[in-house]
Each structure stands twice: as C-alpha cells, then as structure tokens.
A and B are shown apart, each in its own frame.
Chain A
Amino acid sequence: MFTDLVDLLHTDTVQGHFLAVTEQPPADASFVLCHLINRALRAGGAVRVLALDKPPAHYRHLCAKCGADVRQAEAAGALTFVDGAQLTARALRSDSGALTAGGPLPVRAVFDQLTGSADRSASLLVLDDLSALAALGCRPADLLLLVHNLQRWCRRRDAALATLTSRDADDRTLCQLAAAVAGSADLAVTVRGLSSGHCAEVTGELELRRPGEAALLRQFKAEDRNVRVFAAGTSRAVL
C-alpha cells in the first residue's frame, strides 16, 4: 500500500463515495486504482474491477507488489476481474462468430458485467476506463448515464465507485467527458506528467479536488514498489 496516498485519500474510499481519476497522457494513473483496491481488500471488502485499458494481469501484478494477497482474495471471491478484452470480443462478435467493427459496444453490457453475477455484494467497483469505451463507439451521453447508474447502484448498496478517464488535450470530447465525470465526483484526482519535462526525481503531479474546496496539488515519484507523494518543490532534486 502506498502510505503517502493513504493520507491524501483516507476519507474517500468509504461507502457511497465516488472517486473520479483522470490521467493526462503520457502519465499513468493505474497506481491510484491499485491503491484503492488494496485498501478495500485490507478493510475486508469485496472489489470488482473492469479492466479494459490495462489487462487484469497488470492489476494483479501491481496489487501483489503492494502487499495484497491477490490469489487468496480471488479464490475467496473478494476480488473479481472482468476482462474488458473478452467483454469487447464477446459483445462485438456477429452471429457468425466474426469480430465486427461496425457497431458500438453496448453500454448495458458493461453495467451488467460490473454489477451483476457477483457472489457477494461488492464494496468497491472500479471502471478502467471510460475513454476506451468512448473509442469503442459509446456516446459520451451514454457513458455519463452509465456512471450515473453505477453511482446510484453503489449508493444503494453502500459501495464506493472509482472510474478512470484519459484526457488528451487534442480530444475535446474526452476533455468534456472527464470534466463532467469529475464534476459529479466526491473526489476528483488528476494525474499528469511534469509540464517542464523529464525529471529523475519527480514522475508527475497529483491534483486533488473536492467539491467546495480548493484544489490540492502534490508531486509524486513512482518507484518500483511505492509511490512517494510530496509538496511541489520539495523533491530530492531540489532539497
């Protein structure tokens, strides 16, 4: 578990909360999701992850790196992965069994996979990621409706929801989608690289925004098994 992130996100993995994570390429925000999964598992909750952009193996590997017993959690039904690749390949096959690029991915299938057929009620749903769904032909309005329905489903069951959206400055639709999702969240986390370029001691910036509060800006350094978070200007390169 990333101890520095615990202090920042400690109040936001409680039941009923919605956490919107946004990443700006080339930064990668899957470590925030891994942190949330680990925390939920340690608290004894059940987690259900739709791994669309990154494969389930990525999350298994990172969660195991951070100290979670992934194999046991999966065997006990506490951690369930929905492989987005298989979901896509299944949903977009024609009657003859061939893959077809002609139609969009049905959003309903995503909702059913995330919420349905769970052995036990999940305490955390993770959706990675909305921009991949948009690239697969889902309309932004449908995606917002999906997030809204997932949020309602989670509130009713006292579960937390975390979504990941990639936001590229060139893609205005995704920027609007990310802003809309972040606007309805209890905590919006933005992960981005350094605008000044490469630095050996700083991987990027974290921006945390809660409704009605000023944004909190931190820098982070991704190491092999840990993520160090510190105030801007206090990295090892400076001090």
Chain B
Amino acid sequence: MQEDQYGDYAHLVLSYFMSEAVCNRHRLLAASLDADPSKMILELPSPADGEVTAVRPPAGAADQRMTIAWRYQGLPQQPAPAAGRFGQHYDLSRYIEKSAIDAMDISLWPEDEPPGADHAAASDRLDSLLAACDRLASGAEPDTAPTVRRLAVRSLGSPLWSAPPELVVRACHLLRALLRVTGAVAMVTVPTHLWTDEALVARLRRCADISIGLESFQGTPAAQSPAFSEYHGLVHVHRLSARNVLAARYPRHPDLAFKVRRKKFSVETLHLPPELSETASRSQEDDSAPARKARPAAGCQAARPGAPLDF
C-alpha cells in the first residue's frame, strides 16, 4: 500500500489488517521502525459486533442441550462474533482489550532496541526484518491447528530505514518469494511520496499481488473543494491479482474515495455532490450575457442586448 502524505490513513488500514489477525487468532508479526510495534498492537480497532476474548470459545458450546426453549434447538446457530469469522466490521472508537492481545501469539520487530537507536547498515536492517518474517512464516506451529500467518510492516523504506529504494524493492521481492512458499500473507505500507524515482515506484507496485495507493486531501486545495467535501481522500487501485484467472477483474468504476467517520473507515465510489444552491444555476443576466453575445444580429435587432438601436 502506498501511503498517503502523512501516513495516517494507511496506518489505519494496516490496523484493520492486524485486527483481523487478532479476531481470527492468526499468528501476527508487527514491524515498524517509525512507531513502537508494542504500542501499535494496543491500538487495534475492536469488532463492532462483539469483543475479542482472551479465551477461545469451546467448539461444543453450541451443542448444549436446551431444557426450556427446546423448540429452538434445531435452528441454525449464528456464528460467534469476533471469533474465527473472516471479514468483520470494526469500531474505530474502541480498541481491542489488552488481555486479548496478550493472549495472542504476536511477534514484534524490532524486539528490544527502540526505533532509531540501531545504527546498522540499511541492508542489515532489511535482512533482519526478512529474517523475522522468515521465522514467523516458516516456523513450526505450536500445538494448535495450522493458521494463516500475517506480516504487517509499517512505513517500510521511510527515512529511518535510510535504505535506497532499490534495496526496498528487492526486499519486497524477497518477501513475496518467502510468502509464496509459506502460508503467510503480508501487508506493507510504503511512503512512496518520498521517493523521487517513479520507475522504482512502478517496480514496487509490480512486485505486489495487490497494490493500492491512498491520496489524502490533508493540506491540499482539494480539502476545501466542495466537490470532495464528503471524502477525506482518494483510493487508487494500481494492481489487482490475476492469480488463476485470465485477466484481473478491476472495479467498473475506477474512481474510488474514502472517508473516515468516528467509528469506521469506508471506501466508496466517488460521486460529485448534487447542485443544491438556492439561486438558479443560470440567472437571467448570466444566461443572457454569453448567449446573446454569440447570437448573430437578425433584422432590425442589434447584436448587443440593450443597445439603443434594438427596436
């Protein structure tokens, strides 16, 4: 994901990705040099329709024999909210409980040293990150059933990494090679607006299966524009996966926009607002001026409206 100018919205989407890992009890790696990963995982939005509990719900709980409302025994059961259900609605105003986070198998990178204190070379940092991804993606499962492993990397290639963009692109290719031979999925946000070489941005997009860019209106003239008053930014879909199909299916309307409300981040098709001004859109004077100017004179009519020769 190509970050917006200040990265706020891209980080929000990344927190959705991490919340999904917690809700589905996937193993997770949270990596960042710009933010403390131990704080990142404490600010994950909570599911809107329930709480994530530290204790896994027992599988046979739904099969308990009903003694009073026995006639509802055979009805299909609703899936337990926020427990192993893919795709949730999240409430941005609430965070997931710390006890639920602590009960999860979450790895952090860097583990001990504070961000920015490491003076190692850029390639060493990237190698260290790849090693952490490799450990999580290829590591043996604990006693539980095999699950998806999620790698969330925030602001890869930001100035704190001091890594040239070529190296970041190469690291992303290596990460993709790693994901392909393991059961892992990664979401990486990259501040590409800091890169000066568009060719490397194109190569970065190319190395991802799905590449999306966010363009925020913050600090731009678009924020004041009435056309975009409903939205906080634009979503650019650069690349969608064409895995196992002859051609990727791109959205019919490529113009997408996002908005952040108190409780949710939503992506919608960009629509211009309707014209609701109280004054007529074409007043008599406004209408007549350019139109009459263009109208040729006919008969005893002057070319200019209101001219003394008009009779």
What residues on B are CB-neighbors of A99 within 8 Å?
A: 127, 130-131, 134, 174, 178
Q: B206 to A131, Cβ gap below 8 A?
A: yes
Interface residues of B in 182-229 (CB under 8 A from A): 198-199, 201-203, 205-207
Q: A138 → chain B, closest Cβ, in Å?
A: 10
Interface residue B243 (Cβ < 8 Å from any Cβ of A): yes
Q: B166 to A54, Cβ gap below 8 A?
A: no
Q: A62 to B127, Cβ gap below 8 A?
A: no
Chain B residue nearest in CB terms to A131: B206
Q: A81 → chain B, closest Cβ, in Å?
A: 13
What residues on A are CB-neighbors of B134 within 8 Å?
A: 98-99
Chain B residue nearest in CB terms to A55: B180
Interface residue B21 (Cβ < 8 Å from any Cβ of A): no
Bound form: Cα–Cα A175–B243 in Å: 24
Residue-wise interface mask of B (284-299) relative to A, using a CB-CB cutoff of 8 A (1 in contact, 0 not): 0000000000000000
Interface residue B171 (Cβ < 8 Å from any Cβ of A): yes
Residue-wise interface mask of B (237-279) relative to A, using a CB-CB cutoff of 8 A (1 in contact, 0 not): 0111011111110101010000000000000000000000000
Q: A101 to B206, Cβ gap below 8 A?
A: no
Residue of B178, B239, B247 touching A89 (CB-CB under 8 A): B178
Interface residue A3 (Cβ < 8 Å from any Cβ of B): no
Interface residue A28 (Cβ < 8 Å from any Cβ of B): yes
Bound form: Cα–Cα A100–B129 in Å: 10
* Stretch of A42-50, A165-173, A179-187 that contacts chain B: A165-173
Interface residue B54 (Cβ < 8 Å from any Cβ of A): no
On chain A, the number of residues with a Cβ less than 8 Å from chain B's Cβ atoms is 48
Interface residue B170 (Cβ < 8 Å from any Cβ of A): yes
What residues on A are CB-neighbors of B243 within 8 Å?
A: 54-55, 58
Known: A102-B123, A172-B199, A198-B254. A132 touches B206 (CB 8 A): yes
Interface residue A20 (Cβ < 8 Å from any Cβ of B): no
Q: B202 to A170, Cβ gap below 8 A?
A: yes
What residues on B are CB-neighbors of A31 within 8 Å?
A: 246-247
Residue of A62, A85, A102, A172 touching B246 (CB-CB under 8 A): A62
Which secondary structure characterizes the binding site on chain B? helix
Bound form: Cα–Cα A134–B248 in Å: 23
What residues on A are CB-neighbors of B207 within 8 Å?
A: 132, 135
Q: B127 to A85, Cβ gap below 8 A?
A: no
Q: A28 to B170, Cβ gap below 8 A?
A: no
Interface residue A77 (Cβ < 8 Å from any Cβ of B): no
Q: B11 → chain A, closest Cβ, in Å?
A: 24
Chain B residue nearest in CB terms to A99: B130
Q: B126 → chain A, closest Cβ, in Å?
A: 5
Q: A170 to B254, Cβ gap below 8 A?
A: no
Residue of B130, B174, B199, B248 touching A173 (CB-CB under 8 A): B199
Q: B252 to A198, Cβ gap below 8 A?
A: yes
What residues on A are CB-neighbors of B250 within 8 Å?
A: 26, 198
Interface residue B136 (Cβ < 8 Å from any Cβ of A): no
Q: B247 to A28, Cβ gap below 8 A?
A: yes
Q: A97 → chain B, closest Cβ, in Å?
A: 9
Chain B residue nearest in CB terms to A169: B202
Q: A174 to B173, Cβ gap below 8 A?
A: no
Chain A residue nearest in CB terms to B169: A135
Chain B residue nearest in CB terms to A175: B199
Q: A30 to B199, Cβ gap below 8 A?
A: no
Chain B residue nearest in CB terms to A191: B247
Bound form: Cα–Cα A94–B128 in Å: 12
Known: A62-B244, A98-B131, A100-B123. A135 touches B203 (CB 8 A): yes
What residues on A are CB-neighbors of B173 within 8 Å?
A: 88, 132, 135-136
Bound form: Cα–Cα A162–B131 in Å: 35
Among the interface residues B127, B166, B203, which one has the most CB atoms of the partner chain A within 10 A? B203
Interface residue B98 (Cβ < 8 Å from any Cβ of A): no
Bound form: Cα–Cα A227–B127 in Å: 42
What residues on B are CB-neighbors of A89 within 8 Å?
A: 174, 177-178, 181
Known: A85-B177, A137-B166. A57 touches B244 (CB 8 A): yes
Bound form: Cα–Cα A135–B254 in Å: 27
9 additional contacts (CB under 8 A) given A99-B127, A132-B173: A25-B205, A26-B238, A54-B242, A85-B176, A101-B123, A131-B203, A135-B207, A137-B170, A222-B246
Which 8 pairs across A and B sit closest by C-beta, in order of nearness? A222-B247, A85-B180, A171-B199, A222-B246, A168-B202, A85-B177, A170-B198, A102-B123
13 A–B pairs (Cβ distance < 8 Å), ordered by A: A25-B238, A54-B242, A85-B181, A92-B174, A98-B130, A100-B130, A101-B167, A131-B206, A168-B205, A170-B198, A198-B254, A222-B246, A223-B246
